[in-house]
A and B are shown apart, each in its own frame.
Chain A
Amino acid sequence: MTEYSQQNAPKKGLIVSPIENGTVIDHLTPGKAIKIADMLGLMQGAVVIIGQNLKSTKYGKKDIIKVENRFLTEDECSKIALIAPHATVNIIRDSALYEKRNVEIPDTVEDVALCSNANCITNKEKVPTRLFAQNKSPLVLVCHYCGFEIKGDDLKLKG
């Protein structure tokens, strides 16, 4: 277990401060943090710190989300992967890094994202969506029902 508080202690002048218990979603694609926080419903009462366009040694720039007393499900991690495939999810307990996970685009995306074909049965009636990952980088999903190909940039997640 790493001493999270030591490793991530905010340097002088840095706004993003550490949390005691909760989740740090790091290495988000720049500009996506608010969308992801909104999608996961993080801004409904919990303490949330969002950093945008921070320096990243790996990717140049990144966004980051820190949320207190909130832990993510597998489904939520899959949702993040669809928007920010390089994200890492750090679980913090007692100010220490308890677990670090890479998010992964699943082979089948079950009822998380919408088919982009407006005439698809899943957009017309209450039918759970199922999209197959035809290609993960760049992301291309195919609708199980209508066969429509959805590019990552056009992907909309279920509300």
Chain B
Amino acid sequence: MEFMNKDVVSIKDFSRPELEKIFEIAEKMEMNGYDRSLLEGKKVGLLFYEPSTRTRLSFDTAAQSLGARTIWFAGVEGTSVMKGETLKDTIETVANYADAIVMRHPFDGSARWAAEITTRRVSRGESKVPIISGGDGKNEHPTQTMLDLYSMMRTQGKIDGLEILMVGDLKYGRTVHSLSYALSMFDCRISFVAPDMLQVPEHVTSFLRSKGVSFTKSAKIEDAIGRADIVYMTRIQKERFPDENEYNKVKGLYRIDRKMLQMAKPTMKLMHPLPRVDEIAIDADDDIRSYYFKQAGNGVPVRAALLSLVMGAVA
């Protein structure tokens, strides 16, 4: 298992033992505290071409907790991107300043391209700088999936054997697709709840079938909430709809509130990648089953573990 300089572009690039290694280190860091000497003298570049709250701040917190300094931009205003600089040229430049680069970019596949750019540096005698995707367009957001899995493991003590209910925008939601791929490495059952027009796409279900994952599809939360160990809510993303009328038909269709939570097991945990709109009522926030803010907090140990691994600070 080699993590040094490994790019974090797609959850599919990680095996189950690799994920378990990340979770083991994250848990140790969470329980025992962060060792500031681990990344002392190192710099982490945070290139956020698109808005972000949790991903950027948790990477920043993780890097600084381990003693690294961060150099960053949030939004392209004030950068040479405004002058038409390509992604390649920005990455080539920042790779001279930073020991690892975290990037969120609007174009699908941009993370894979950035990883190739820093790999090519090696052929000219320069260092490989690992690329960690913080989301590339509507393609993938691998570290979100890692912290989702970590949250399942921390709350339920295991991932194998869990019954996982995913609700909302299962068609366009990249977190749902990546999480489904990742869960195929574990022995889970998945229930997908969405209206027909937002159901999980064929390429995901055919992948799950090929891996022998047991799953069901339904349009009602009530069909599955009672047996779920994890309910994973997602926002219906207005910006993904080509037609606003189509969006209006489904917005507000699913809403979990305190009353609905009474139908769930006491040990169930309600998760959400956030931000939410109205799919989880505020009155649910104080229920013992609501876990989404702690889930966002888990971004710090998971991303700290990942940074320390790909930057060679732990093996």
Contacts and interface: CB of A to CB of B under 8 A. Distances in A.
Given A119-B138, A127-B113, A146 B86 contact: no
A117 B139 CA distance: 11
A145 B107 CA distance: 10
B108 A149 contact: no
Contacts of A119: 106-108, 137-138
A125 B112 CA distance: 13
A143 interface: yes
B75 interface: no
Interface string B92-115: 000000000000001111101100
Contacts of A126: 86
Contacts of A144: 109, 112
Given A147-B139, A149-B203, A120 B108 contact: yes
Interface residues of A, number: 17
A138 to B, nearest CB: 15
A146 B133 CA distance: 13
B211 to A, nearest CB: 16
Interface string A138-159: 0000011111110000000000
Interface string A88-127: 0000000000000000000000000001010111101111
B109 A146 contact: yes
The CB with the most chain A CB atoms within 10 A, among B108, B113, B203, is that of B108
B10 A146 contact: no
Contacts of A124: 107
A147 B10 CA distance: 10
A122 B86 contact: no
B36 interface: no
A146 B137 contact: yes
Contacts of B113: 121, 125, 127, 145
Interface in B118-137: 136-137
B110 A121 contact: yes
B16 interface: no
B29 to A, nearest CB: 31
A9 to B, nearest CB: 51
A126 B86 CA distance: 9
B86 A120 contact: no
A117 B8 CA distance: 22
Interface in B74-99: 86-88
Given A121-B112, A144-B112, 4 more contacts: A121-B108, A121-B113, A124-B107, A146-B108
Interface of B: 10, 86-88, 106-110, 112-113, 136-140, 203
13 contacts: A119-B138, A120-B109, A125-B113, A126-B86, A127-B113, A145-B112, A146-B109, A146-B136, A147-B108, A147-B109, A147-B139, A147-B140, A149-B203
